[in-house]
Structure formats: C-alpha cells, structure tokens
Amino acid sequence: MYRICKTIELESGHMLSKHPGTCQFPHGHTRSVEIVLTADSLDENDMVVDFKAVCEIMGEVLGRFDHALCMNTDDPHYAVLREAYGEHIIAFPHSDPTSEAMAATVYRRAKEALAEVVENTASRYPVRRCVQLERVRVWETSSTWAEYFE
C-alpha cells in the first residue's frame, strides 16, 4: 500500500457558541489541512496520484473555507451575519464548527470531489479508481489537530 499526504494552509474563523470561554466569540486560525490518499499500486508515472491533481481537487473544497467564518446555525447571530456576509459565513447545521467537525466536513467534501475527478478521464492529471481518501487532519494551531476517517 502506498500513501501520500498534501498539506494546504488557509485562514479561517469560527465561533463556538457552546463553548463556556472566549472561543464563543469570533476568532481565527491559520489552519493546515492534511489530505492523505492511498493506492495499492503506482500509476504509469510511478505516483499514487500527481500532487497537482490533489491541489486542484482540494483547492475547490478548501477555497470556500479560506477567509470565511464557520458558524453553528443555532447561534443567535448566524442569520444576521449570513445576511451581511453571504457565502463567507459557512453553516454548520446545529453543531459547533470545531476542528473535529471541520475535519469531517472536509473529508466528506473531498471524498465527493475525488469521486467526480475519477469519472473525468480527460483530466490532465488523472486519478485512478484505486486511489482512496484515507483521512483528513485539520490543524487548529501548531500543537493541536483533529482528524476524521471512515
């Protein structure tokens, strides 16, 4: 089994409305998001998949989170901020956008995006069917991370 990892950095904010301390207020992080892919063999270029393909796939998934504020839809300020800032407010339905929740959300979206790319045989950087998403790790700070996998 072969495994590769691509790390992408982004700036994002969140509010943890259930948090008893200062994390209930808007604040931001420079996050690193690790995407781990596996395959049981290498392609004709001796790769699991080209890192450029991973960047293209994840650029679309993570681009939405960059310079955005993630919020629990139950937060009393959610509707006002969504009205004011539109797509820059990312909804987390009835749950706080913790690093754990973000890792799961990114994982699910990355899995969908990977499946769509596999179907595109005309891609400059093809992705073989045997390539699987293993896990997503979201670093909140340089010493704390959350991970999601199936």
Helices 99-119 and 51-63: angle between axes, nearest 10 degrees: 130
H helices present in 2-98, as ranges: 51-63, 78-85
Tell me the pLDDT tens digit for each residue of 85-118. 999 999 999 999 999 999 999 999 999 999 988 8
What is the reported pLDDT for 119? 76
Q: In terms of DSSP H, where are the helices of 18-142?
A: 51-63, 78-85, 99-119
CATH 3.40.50.300 given to domain 2-148: no
Please check the confidence at residue 149 and state whether its pLDDT lies above 80.
yes
Spell out the domain ranges in the chain. 2-148
Exposure on the CB side of residue 148, measured as CA atoms within 13 A: 16
pLDDT at 61: 87
Under 8 Å between Cβ of 138 and 102: yes
Q: What is the pTM of this model?
A: 0.94
pLDDT computed for residue 30 by the predictor: 95
Residue 125 has pLDDT above 90, yes or no: no
Task: Using the structure block, give the residue that is written with the tokens 């990355």.
Answer: 110
Residue 100 Cα to chain centre, angstroms: 11
Q: Which residue has the tokens 């390539």?
A: 131
**pLDDT at site 123:** 79
Residue 60 confidence (pLDDT): 82
The reported pLDDT for the residue numbered 124 is 84
Q: Is the pLDDT of residue 122 over 90?
A: no
* Phi-psi sector, 20: left (phi>0), alpha (psi -120 to 50), beta: alpha
Residue with tokens 């991370």: 145
| pLDDT attached to residue 143 | 96
* pLDDT 10s digits, 6-62: 999 999 999 999 999 999 999 999 999 999 999 999 999 999 999 999 999 898 889
Intra-chain end-to-end CA distance of the chain, in Å: 17
Of residues 119 and 75, more confidently modeled: 75
User: What is the rounded distance in angstroms from the CA atom of residue 81 to the CA atom of residue 101?
Assistant: 20
